[in-house]
Amino acid sequence: MDKKIIAPSLLAADFANLQQDIEMVNNSEADWFHIDIMDGVFVPNISFGMPVLKAITAHAQKTIDVHLMIVDPDRYIKTFADLGAHNLTVHYEACTHLHRTLQAIKAEGMTAGVALNPHTNINLLEDIINDIDLVLIMSVNPGFGGQSFIENTYDKVKALKELINRKGAHTIIEIDGGVSSENAKELIDAGADVLVAGSFIFQSDNPTKTIKELNELIG
């Protein structure tokens, strides 16, 4: 993928002024909305659910990238498609029949992503990589925004990129957690295509400018 993607994570947005933050992203140089759904079981936190996602997609004018941090995600694939998700990412660690889950996501007209926790080896995807549109590498332990970036991520991205090339796959690589101007360029150089950023964008003084600067850094 030539154009590198910036995906602000709405987990770090101001939920009392969500529409304002959505408009900010609409009018910015960001490409996707990253939406984190947590169930309090797969991860030790609960974010938000369907009614909030419905409100978001009513205003969002860019690609809706949904990251499911939930057990047994198959139960909700159709629901997320109906709510307007364009990409649906499930966790490797949460799926017993991952191949079947990916087919079900695609059958609903979405692209299919697989997320890996920091301890999960990329080689576990070897037999299925050609079926995956996107691999999300967690660069923090999932569940919370604002955590420190795990340095081993660079090697993981490089190894995954090698696997993708070796298998002739068209899978894109997304990085999620602790992304900032400190690591963005190195992540792209390692092979990343999509950078998710929550706190770095929404807790900055001027989020629109922060997105623009990130974009210039990786462009």
Q: Where on the chain is the footprint of ligand DX5 (CB under 6 A)?
A: 9, 11-12, 34, 36, 67, 140, 142-143, 145-147, 176-179, 196-200
Q: Give me the least distance between CB of 103 and Zn ion, in Å please.
A: 23
Nearer to ligand DX5, 122 or 197 (CB): 197
Contact 63, 33 (CB under 8 A): yes
176 binds Zn ion (CB under 5 A): yes
Residue 168, annotated as binding a ligand: no
Q: Is 109 annotated as a binding residue?
A: no
Q: Active-site residue 176, yes or no?
A: yes
Q: Which stretch binds Zn ion (CB under 5 A): 47-55, 99-107, 172-180, 185-193?
A: 172-180
Choice among 21, 31, 133, 176 that is catalytic: 176
> 77 with 106: CB under 8 angstroms?
no
Catalytic, out of 36, 39, 65, 193: 36
Q: Provide the minimum distance between the beta carbon of 61 and ligand DX5 in the complex, in angstroms, as a whole number.
A: 20
CA–CA separation, 136 and 110 (whole Å): 16
Per-residue buried b or exposed e for 163-199, using 16+ beta carbons within 10 Å of the residue's own CB: bbeeeebebbbbbbbbbbeebbeebbebbbbbbbbbb
The answer to whether 177 and 158 are in contact (CB under 8 A) is no
**Single-letter amino acid, residue 47:** S
Q: Is 84 assigned to a binding site?
A: no
Instruction: Indicate the residue among 65 and 133 with the shorter CB distance to ligand DX5.
Output: 65
36 noted as active-site residue: yes
Nearer to ligand DX5, 133 or 174 (CB): 174
E strand map for the chain: 5-8, 32-38, 63-69, 87-91, 111-116, 134-138, 172-176, 194-197
Nearest partner of 86 among 115, 69, 62, judged by Cα = 62
**Which residue number, 62 or 167, has a Cβ lying nearer to ligand DX5?**
62
- Cβ(165)–Cβ(126) below 8 Å: no
| 67 belongs to the binding site for Zn ion (CB under 5 A) | yes
Specify binding-site residues for substrate: 9, 67, 143-146, 176-178, 198-199
